[in-house]
Structure 1
Amino acid sequence: MFNNRFKRGLLTVSLSLNIIFVLFFIGKRFYYSHQSLFHHVITKDERWADFLKSKAGTGEIIFLGTSITEGFNVQYEFGNPLVKNMGFAGSISENGIQAINKLIYRKPKKLFIEFGVNDFKYGISMDTVKAHLVSMLYLIKDKSPNTVVYVQSVLPTNIDSLNNKIVRYNKETKNICLMRDVTFIDLYSEFLRGNKIDADLTIDGTHLSDAGYFNWRRLINKYVN
């Protein structure tokens, strides 16, 4: 009888632990998929408001781009509070023009530009994307001629048809930069494995993993510092 009670007790404890274990992981998944219920998510307008009311500083370095840039913790990676990130998820090249119009009065020391992948995903023509890039470069040259500009190539993805467009765009963008004495940084080839983005450097075929951001920082560190 004692053994039976002991076995039933062990079974009860085991079942209870399993239930707690399952509930923990269900709760964890719910938390991470519904973080907005637990934390205030800073909106794009709030980020811009905070940025524009901040002190510019004489050596301000600003990153503009898509969600790929947004996920780049530049202040931490480069150990410099004057390195600012104004990348936004879903951004297209036209948004780059809008962003530059908002911030160029600050006369940043350097601007790093990353646009294009969303344009091509949304079916925007290559000529339009190139025209937007030229407009960005013109605006910077006109409003803040001492700002040093770095145009970063569009990164590869895991989609062949998209990569074909990106390769062509990067080649033509490099020529645009050469004609305007602007530094073009080829990131594309440094993220490849075969003909697609290195799976170790991405989390979903487009956005970067920690290893991907480490690789990016390695490639541009000499331009930032």
Structure 2
Amino acid sequence: MSDSGPTALVGDSLVQGGDWQAWLPEETIYNFGVGGDTTDDVIARLGDVISARPAIVVLLIGTNDLAWRRSVEHVVRNVETILVTIRRELPDTRILVESVLPRGHEFAEQLRDINRHLWQFAPTVHAQWLDLWPALALDDGELNPAYSEDRLHLNEAGYRAWVDELAPALERLRQLPPSSRAITLPDLG
């Protein structure tokens, strides 16, 4: 798969902590995960991702914003900004937006709200959506305790469950036709 270009994984410590190259050996992985990052931080370093010119961008960001008491609207607006910027700067890049992962059940309502908005927005920038909640969450929205010791970060079993969802999603994404470019109108002024 890597012959059609590298895959950039963008996000926070959940992305940073993954051994993605070992788990996705057919992919050439650029890991742009940074521990503690919020959506504001990803916006600030988006130039690094764009400069890498990946064939695919996989985005998972937003849980740390809640720890900083940022609103659902703040997270959604920032993720939308990230996606619009990637689409504008990398029009041929395929984008996969992953749902913000479950954590403690006290965050479930906010996370579901964020994910609902992102699921609705993703198609407007020709991005695909991967909902990780069916694989990782309990019915009450709690991160399955089998996948985490601290109700936030994933253990080996949690990453395995994630990769089991991500690998086929990447395969499907590579099989899609390229996104159509925006039409640029001539400046008649």
Using the size of structure 2 for normalisation, the TM-score is 0.83
Which among 125, 132, 135 is matched to residue 187 of structure 1? Answer: 132
Q: Which runs of 4+ in 1 moved over 2 A?
A: 178-181
Structure with a larger share of its residues in helix: 1
In 1, Cα distance between equivalents of 2:156 and 2:114: 26
Indicate whether 1:89 and 2:28 are aligned: no
1:83 Cα deviation after fit: 1.0
| Correspondence for 1:221 | 167
1:179 Cα deviation after fit: 2.8
In the TM superposition, what whole-angstrom CA distance separates every residue of 1:131-163 from its partner, at most 9, and x where no partner exists? 1111111111111101111110011112x3211
- Percent same amino acid among aligned pairs? 21
In 2, Cα distance between equivalents of 1:58 and 1:189: 30
Is 65-74 or 125-134 further displaced after alignment?
Answer: 125-134
Alignment check: 8 A CA contact 2:32 2:49 kept: no
Alignment check: 8 A CA contact 2:7 2:57 kept: yes
Aligned to 1:145, the other structure's residue is in SS state coil
In 1, Cα distance between equivalents of 2:15 and 2:170: 14
In 2, Cα distance between equivalents of 1:129 and 1:174: 13
Structure whose alpha-carbon radius of gyration is higher: 1
In 2, Cα distance between equivalents of 1:202 and 1:65: 18
Unmatched tracts of structure 2, length 5 or more: 172-189
In 1, Cα distance between equivalents of 2:108 and 2:128: 22
Aligned to 1:105, the other structure's residue is in SS state helix
| Correspondence for 2:53 | 107
Which among 73, 87, 98 is matched to residue 127 of structure 1? Answer: 73
In 1, Cα distance between equivalents of 2:44 and 2:162: 25
Using the size of structure 1 for normalisation, the TM-score is 0.70
1:116 Cα deviation after fit: 0.8
What is the CA RMSD across the aligned residues, in angstroms? 1.6
| Correspondence for 1:77 | 23
Unmatched tracts of structure 1, length 5 or more: 1-56
| Correspondence for 1:43 | none
| Correspondence for 1:208 | 154
Q: Which has the higher contact order (CA 8 A, sep 6+)?
A: 2
Say how many residue pairs are matched.
168
| Correspondence for 2:63 | 117
